[in-house]
């Protein structure tokens, strides 16, 4: 089969479009004919290499897959050959206390497709049967592939961790990212008032189209001042963070008393500081969040199938041009998801 493979970490040109053997499946696995694979910032980290994360080389990246079942293992009973599927990115042991209680993103063996195991930037990918989710028929393969990782992550952050309540005020940082564009929609779904930030007026217009109530251009405006003005000096109940060092101080300063900051990433750096006096006297909560559960993904896909959450696809590249797609994602000029068509 054709696949995108890298044999060493580095810039986008380490990604090669080559012929590799088709994966052999285990009895509890399926082989999926990939139709579309969406990129995430995770793909860039994996390609560059992360300290202390020994990614097996050569490696096929890609976490977000939509496609059709090509082959099923001998123990597979819930899906059949030819069926369209969206794949849950998280692969876990399925047996530990976390997994059996439905909190599979807490499994100590948790990994994503394309992270510690081969992923979906290929004509075929193998996954456990339990990772096959119902296909939202109203979506194209490119749109369906744009759903799982970002919507599951944003849902787990806002609903699972921050326990967003109707009518609350939410500040969504980096609204143009995949996870930001998902967060705006989920917050609006829960009846929140959304303040969205982005680095250009063009991106802010798109954030408004997704439902954002107030817009902050972080290149020309100071986030904390705008939040103060919009909320009549109160601050927001929830800050949706994933940007890291570049926005951390603004995010903390934007919280209302008893506000919750939830974060899933550190795209611009992981060094942050906090004034402990501010933390305790304002009774703030800092919440870490990592991926999401398969159950949350089932919920998200149901809402996507009903048209109540909409994947935002910025641009589609052919699989062979994965290197160009990575470079484009790194340039941060997109709004929403960059997807590879296979």
The residues binding Zn ion (CB under 5 A) are: 92-93, 96, 99, 107
Q: How far is the CB of 90 from Zn ion (least distance, A)?
A: 10
- For residue 50, give Cα distances in angstroms to 9, 44, 107, 116, 279: 9, 10, 20, 11, 31
State in angstroms the smallest separation of the CB of 195 from Zn ion: 37
Judged by beta carbon, residue 49 or residue 94, the one nearer Zn ion is 94
Half-sphere exposure of 38 (CA within 13 A, CB side): 32
Taking the complex as a whole, the smallest distance from the CB of residue 28 to Zn ion amounts, in Å, to 14
Between 63 and 92, CB nearer to Zn ion = 92
Q: For Zn ion, which residue has the nearest CB?
A: 107
> Based on CB atoms, which residue is closest to Zn ion, 110 or 317?
110
Return the number of the residue (108 or 233) whose C-beta is nearest Zn ion.
Answer: 108
Cβ distance to Zn ion smaller for residue 131 or 334: 131
Of 214, 208, 207, give the one whose Cα is nearest residue 228: 214
Cα-to-chain-centroid distance, residue 236: 23
CA-wise closest residue to 184 among 155, 160, 156: 155
Q: What minimum distance in Å lies between the beta carbon of 108 and Zn ion?
A: 7
Query: Beta strands 169-172 and 193-198: pairing type?
Result: parallel
Are 122 and 115 within 8 A, CB to CB? no
| CB of residue 110 to Zn ion, shortest distance in Å | 7
Write down the least CB distance from residue 104 to Zn ion, Å: 6
Cβ neighbours around 176 below 10 Å, total: 23
Instruction: Determine contact, residues 167/331, Cβ cutoff 8 Å.
Output: no
CB 243 within 8 A of CB 173: yes
How many other CB atoms sit within 10 Å of the CB of residue 327? 15
State the Cα–Cα distance between residues 65 and 293, nearest whole angstrom. 16
Q: Which residues of 212-233 are buried (b: 16+ CB within 10 A; e: fewer)?
A: bbbbbebeeeebbebbbebbee
The answer to whether the CB of 230 falls within 8 A of the CB of 214 is yes
Q: Which is nearer to Zn ion, 44 or 93 (CB)?
A: 93
Per-position DSSP letters for 61-89, written without gaps between them: ---EEEEEEEEE-TT--S--TT-EEEE-S
């Amino acid at each position: 089969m054709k696949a995108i493979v890298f044999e060493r970490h580095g810039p986008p040109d380490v990604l090669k479009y080559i012929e590799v053997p088709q994966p052999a499946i285990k009895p509890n696995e399926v082989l999926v004919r990939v139709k579309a694979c969406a990129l995430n910032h995770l793909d860039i980290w994996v390609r560059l290499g992360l300290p202390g994360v020994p990614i097996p080389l050569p490696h096929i990246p890609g976490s977000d897959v939509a496609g059709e079942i090509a082959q099923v293992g001998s123990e597979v009973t819930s899906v059949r050959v030819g069926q369209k599927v969206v794949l849950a990115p998280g692969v876990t042991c399925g047996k530990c206390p976390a997994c059996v209680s439905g909190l599979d993103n807490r499994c100590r063996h948790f990994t994503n497709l394309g992270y510690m195991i081969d992923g979906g930037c290929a004509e075929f990918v193998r996954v456990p049967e339990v990772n096959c989710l119902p296909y939202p028929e109203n979506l194209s393969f490119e749109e369906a592939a744009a759903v799982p990782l970002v919507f599951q992550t944003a849902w787990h952050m806002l609903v699972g961790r921050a326990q967003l309540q109707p009518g609350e005020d939410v500040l969504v940082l980096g609204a143009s990212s995949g996870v930001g564009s998902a967060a705006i929609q989920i917050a609006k779904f829960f009846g929140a008032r959304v303040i969205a930030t982005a680095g250009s007026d063009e991106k802010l217009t798109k954030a408004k189209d997704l439902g954002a109530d107030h817009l902050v251009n972080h290149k020309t405006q100071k986030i904390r001042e705008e939040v103060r003005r919009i909320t009549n000096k109160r601050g927001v109940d929830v800050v949706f963070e994933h940007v890291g060092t570049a926005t951390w101080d603004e995010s903390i300063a934007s919280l209302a008393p008893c506000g919750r900051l939830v974060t899933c990433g550190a795209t611009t750096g992981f060094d942050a500081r906090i004034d402990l006096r501010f933390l305790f006297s304002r009774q703030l909560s800092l919440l870490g969040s990592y991926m999401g559960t398969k159950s949350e993904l089932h919920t998200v896909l149901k809402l996507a199938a009903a048209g109540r959450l909409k994947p935002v696809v910025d641009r589609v590249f052919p699989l062979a041009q994965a290197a160009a797609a990575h470079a484009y994602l790194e340039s941060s000029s997109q709004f929403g998801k960059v997807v590879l068509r296979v």
